[in-house]
Amino acid sequence: MNQSQQPGEHVFLELRARDAWNQREYHLALKTAAEAAAMARSNADDNAWWNMTFLEAECLKKTGAFHDAQRLAEALREDVLTQRYPDLSARVSTFLAGTLQGQGDLALAAEEARRAVAMAASAGDSPDLRITAQHALIAALAESDQIDDAWEECLRLAELITPDVNSQTAGKAYWVIGNVAYLRRDAAVGTGYHRRAASNLSPSNDLDLWARFNRASAALRLAAGVVEPETLECIERAELAASIVGGSERDKLELSLTRAHWLFLTGQFDAAVERLRPICEASSLIASQTAAEAYMLLGQALARSGDPLEGLFQLEKSQELFRQSGAPDREAQVATLIDEVHRTADS
């Protein structure tokens, strides 16, 4: 052991890393976790090394470095400790599913999430772990337009939500079930589940999660054409929470996209175009399927505001991005929009 290291010093670094994470100082948490992991490794403390390395990966994801987070998690998956314990394997695969989905690699995300579900089931009595893995699988299936399969997994997820489950975990589970209900065009069921989610998620416990939930809830309501005061309230709550939390550039772009969608659906096409252009210009910072949604909205808004030629150009970009992401239903949806703009322009 290095003479400059004092007994328990790596424990102090772990506490500092966790504190920075809790304060949403992700770059500081990343640096401190890396130091703690290195010191734990030199002290042959495998458990501490694993936890701090996983925290490093989480920090990388939070700062938008999805590819780096993926590589670190893949290395962690091969570690002997991960392979020895199903709960650790489930955590890593759940995390990997999220990073792959965040990069638009939806097929691999679903595959990784299925692995997480299998490992979580073999980890014994750990409902939170199983719910989190199931959540990741549903999200990946839904994003790749496998809505029927996603709903089947939702029914399995609902069975796991018992009174013993942590309220935040239950809230996230209700959230994803509501998402899929909206995608199935069942707005009443979707709204019901999102209301249950809201009653379990607390802004005082995790303001960042609260912001993301309200943004996602608004986005799904808008996708289902639900333009009502409750939808606008979700957007405003998300914007208020985000103004306090801050968040990554990706978070800000996704929230701005939700507001742009509201503007489009309420007939404010010029305002929607003005908001959508910078989102599309920075589309490399968001998942490809999310970028495709932005280009789709921009194309529609341009066509409605009197510029069908540029609108078609943006819609073609959207179609290609949905194709790359492995979202065939939404690719077909954009193809229909392109035909409509052509017919309108020719008439």
For every residue of 171-184, DSSP letters joined together read HHHHHHHHHHHHHT
Give the rounded percent of residues in the chain with a pLDDT score beyond 70: 97
DSSP string spanning 258-293? HHHHHHHHTT-HHHHHHHHHHHHHTGGGS-HHHHHH
Q: How far apart are CA 85 and CA 83, in angstroms?
A: 6
- Angle at the Cα of 12 (from 7 to 15), degrees rounded to 5? 150
Whether the predicted pLDDT of 83 surpasses 70 = yes
Q: How far apart are CA 339 and CA 336, in angstroms?
A: 5
Whether the predicted pLDDT of 314 surpasses 80 = yes
Predicted TM-score of the model (pTM): 0.79
The pLDDT assigned to 2 comes to 45
The pLDDT assigned to 69 comes to 97
Residue 248 phi, psi dihedral angles, 5° rounding: -80, 170
Domains of the chain: 1-96 (1.25.40.10), 129-199 (1.25.40.10), 248-347 (1.25.40.10)
- For the record, the structure tokens of 337 come out as 């929009």
Q: How far apart are CA 66 and CA 109, in angstroms?
A: 13
Q: How far apart are CA 113 and CA 158, in angstroms?
A: 17
The pLDDT assigned to 6 comes to 56
Instruction: Compute CA distances 148 → 6, 44, 134, 235, whole Å.
Output: 56, 47, 15, 28
Name residues whose C-beta falls within 8 Å of residue 4's C-beta, 6 or more positions apart in sequence: none
- For the record, the structure tokens of 9 come out as 């010093």
Crossing angle of helices 308-325 and 328-346, rounded to 10°: 170
Q: What is the pLDDT of residues 250-295, one digit of tens each?
A: 889 999 999 999 999 999 999 999 999 999 999 999 999 999 999 9
**Cβ atoms of 275 and 263 closer than 8 Å:** yes
Whether the predicted pLDDT of 3 surpasses 50 = no
Q: How far apart are CA 112 and CA 176, in angstroms?
A: 18
Q: How far apart are CA 176 and CA 179, in angstroms?
A: 5
Q: Which residue has the higher pLDDT, 225 or 117?
A: 117
The pLDDT assigned to 245 comes to 83
| 298-304: average pLDDT | 96
| Confidence at 159, pLDDT banded by 50, 70, 90 | very high
| 16-27: average pLDDT | 92
Q: How far apart are CA 221 and CA 300, in angstroms?
A: 18
Average pLDDT, the chain: 91
Collapsing DSSP states into helix, strand and coil, what is residue 59? Answer: helix
Whether the predicted pLDDT of 82 surpasses 90 = yes
Q: How far apart are CA 230 and CA 214, in angstroms?
A: 11
The pLDDT assigned to 5 comes to 53
The pLDDT assigned to 4 comes to 45
